[in-house]
């Protein structure tokens, strides 16, 4: 009898051990598997102010900062995080759509943890570009230094986890607009070295190719690279070109289109020469031009439950009216100021402000509103993520 009980106890012990082994294997498999709905563990962003959620906040010397009101007036808690908009950026919507997290933080956020950084951050710096002169003039971080920050992050994460994250993450790149608009059209700093805009564009695309190659060498494989927007339709461009009669500047838009065509050719060739890499061209020019020509199709309906109570009856009625209006009502002028150089440190609460940023295509003289970013993000997710 005792021998039978001992045998039974041994069998039970073996069964429990098998269950524990199975559980540990299952947990290990679950820990190794992607936890996001898309299978993409992290998103890393590089470029300029359209992707900068606050990396410039600690740069005291630069004017290209958005850590003050009225920036962030539509962000949760009305916080001026350093995002150059009234609310979220396009990358915030992308990481949310991918199921990675709710917002893409700045790498230089002092409260950022390594665990949070491992699921994606933005290294982008407002005022930066593909040309180092652009960043140096604005006194911000160069594109090369952004890649250096990414390399430092991989070192902190450590191998082999860093290699796995690098290989499977999504890389969003958006730069070149500051180079073309500021260095060539507004402040002709590069016209001597490059007599034509197409020559300068070739130089910029060559620089971008080198940066993408550097990221590839660090393990990056999945890229989304944005082309130029219709730079001739930016509020600052319209304001500085009185000859256009307040309309878009056609020759600048044409230059952006030629740049984008050359960029697509470069990405196709680089992808063919980079085993395992996908370099998707993201067309922002076409949807932004559609917003300019057909503004009634865009904009956000403001929800009644988001109204800011405690204001005057007039302001409350204005918000209720805005909640019933669909489509942009203003595409020429930014919500902050009158469109003329009202950006960064020059966009302040002392300037005239629109009452409903959701009805504006631009928040300041250069940067889109949250509503515009949301529309672009929806387009990108549908075109490049949902179909993949």
Which residues are marked as active site?
49, 364, 367
Alpha helix segments (H runs only) across the chain: 2-32, 90-98, 114-117, 132-138, 143-157, 161-168, 177-180, 197-217, 235-240, 250-272, 285-293, 313-323, 370-380
Placement of tokens 């491992």 in the chain:
118
The three-state DSSP-derived secondary structure of 328-388 is: CCECCCCCECCCCCCCHHHCCCCCCECCCHHHECECCCCCECHHHHHHHHHHHHHHHHCCC
Q: Which helix (H) or strand (E) holds 174?
A: strand 170-174
Alpha-carbon distance 20 to 40, whole Å?
30
Short-list 257, 255, 229, CA closest to 367 = 229
Helix axes 250-272, 197-217, angle to 10 degrees: 30
Name the nearest CA neighbour of 178 among 344, 45, 371: 344
Rounded Cα distance between 89 and 226, Å, is 14
Which residues are registered as beta bridge partners of 223? 171, 279
């Amino acid at each position: 009898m005792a021998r039978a009980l001992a045998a039974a106890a041994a069998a039970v012990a073996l069964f429990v051990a098998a269950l524990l082994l199975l559980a540990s294997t299952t947990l290990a498999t679950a820990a190794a598997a992607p936890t996001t709905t898309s299978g993409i563990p992290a998103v890393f962003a590089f470029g300029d102010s359209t992707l900068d959620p606050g990396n410039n906040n600690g740069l005291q010397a630069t004017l290209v900062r958005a850590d003050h009101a009225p920036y962030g007036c539509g962000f949760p808690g009305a916080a001026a995080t350093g995002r150059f908009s009234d609310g979220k950026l396009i990358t915030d919507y992308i990481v949310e759509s991918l199921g990675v997290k709710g917002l893409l933080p700045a790498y230089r956020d002092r409260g950022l943890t390594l665990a949070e950084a491992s699921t994606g951050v933005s290294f982008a710096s407002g005022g930066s570009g593909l040309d180092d002169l652009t960043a140096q003039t604005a006194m911000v971080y160069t594109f090369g230094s952004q890649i250096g920050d990414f390399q430092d992050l991989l070192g902190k994460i450590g191998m082999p986890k860093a290699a796995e994250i690098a290989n499977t993450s999504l890389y969003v790149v958006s730069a070149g607009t500051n180079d073309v608009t500021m260095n060539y059209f507004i402040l002709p700093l590069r016209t001597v070295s490059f007599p034509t805009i197409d020559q300068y564009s070739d130089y910029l695309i060559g620089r971008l190719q080198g940066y993408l190659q550097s990221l590839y060498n660090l393990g990056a494989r999945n890229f989304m690279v944005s082309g130029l927007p219709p730079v001739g339709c930016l509020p600052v461009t319209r304001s500085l070109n009185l000859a256009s009669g307040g309309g878009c500047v056609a020759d600048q838009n044409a230059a952006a289109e030629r740049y984008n065509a050359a960029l697509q050719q470069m990405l196709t060739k680089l992808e063919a020469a980079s085993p395992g890499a996908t370099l998707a061209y993201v067309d922002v020019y076409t949807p932004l031009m559609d917003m300019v020509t057909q503004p009634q199709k865009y904009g956000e309906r403001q929800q009644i439950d988001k109204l800011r109570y405690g204001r005057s009856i007039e302001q409350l009625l204005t918000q209720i009216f805005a909640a019933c209006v669909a489509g942009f009502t203003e595409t020429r002028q930014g919500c902050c100021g009158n469109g003329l150089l009202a950006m960064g440190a020059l966009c302040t609460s002392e300037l005239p402000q629109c009452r409903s940023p959701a009805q504006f295509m631009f928040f300041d003289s250069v940067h889109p509103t949250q509503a515009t970013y949301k529309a672009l993000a929806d387009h990108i997710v549908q075109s490049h993520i949902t179909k993949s």
